[in-house]
């Protein structure tokens, strides 16, 4: 003799499929129990009890797979992009321009180094000329004092 409120195999399958789908999509088992309860005119507690007492054991692998799928879904996925030939050409041209820009930067750095050396040499020459000028001025001042 079966009970009037006994669970049928179809109800067990509905419960299992719903719980697994909810878990896969990131929802909770409790929400799945509420959903199934509405469909089967049972309480969420009754659905939860049936799931934990009987159905879960039969669907353990599917439940684990659903959890793994949920976890993968949460991980950021690399953006998929359909690149056209023009996109690739544009990208390569940009890379080439960057390379040329790097060469130009290196040439300018070398030019700066050369100009700095030249500036240092000119400053040394200026200092020498200023010393000679001071010496000449000193000699002229002494000569003026002697002639007076």
In this prediction, residue 97 carries a pLDDT of 83
Q: pTM of this prediction?
A: 0.50
What are the tokens at 67?
A: 């959890």
In this prediction, residue 78 carries a pLDDT of 61
Taking only the tens of pLDDT, the chain with its 148 residues reads 677 789 999 999 999 999 999 999 999 999 999 999 999 999 999 999 999 999 999 999 999 999 999 988 877 666 566 778 888 888 888 888 887 878 888 888 999 999 999 999 999 999 999 999 999 999 999 999 998 7
In this prediction, residue 76 carries a pLDDT of 67
Task: Name the 3-class secondary structure at 5.
Answer: coil
Compute how many other C-beta atoms are within 10 angstroms of the C-beta atom of residue 77. Answer: 7
In this prediction, residue 79 carries a pLDDT of 58
Cα dihedral 81, 86, 91, 96 in deg (nearest 10): 170
Place of tokens 């020498």: 128
Contact 26, 73 (CB under 8 A): yes
The contacts of residue 50 (CB under 8 Å, 6+ apart) are 7, 12, 15
Please state, in angstroms and rounded to a whole number, the distance separating the CA atoms of residues 71 and 7. 32
Q: So where are the chain's domains?
A: 9-74, 101-148
Place of tokens 């960057």: 98
In this prediction, residue 133 carries a pLDDT of 95
Compute how many other C-beta atoms are within 10 angstroms of the C-beta atom of residue 33. Answer: 25
């Amino acid at each position: 003799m079966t009970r009037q409120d006994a669970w049928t195999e179809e109800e067990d399958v509905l419960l299992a499929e719903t719980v697994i789908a909810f878990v896969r999509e990131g929802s909770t088992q409790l929400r799945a129990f509420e959903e199934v309860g509405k469909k089967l005119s049972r309480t969420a507690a009754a659905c939860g009890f049936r799931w934990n007492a009987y159905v879960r054991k039969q669907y353990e692998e599917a439940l684990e797979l659903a959890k793994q799928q949920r976890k993968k879904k949460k991980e950021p996925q690399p953006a998929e992009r359909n690149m056209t030939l023009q996109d690739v050409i544009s990208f390569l041209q940009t890379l080439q321009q960057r390379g040329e820009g790097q060469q130009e930067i290196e040439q300018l750095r070398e030019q700066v180094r050369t100009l700095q050396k030249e500036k240092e040499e000119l400053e040394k020459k200026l200092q020498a000329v200023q010393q000679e000028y001071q010496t000449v001025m000193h000699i002229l001042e002494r000569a003026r004092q002697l002639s007076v």
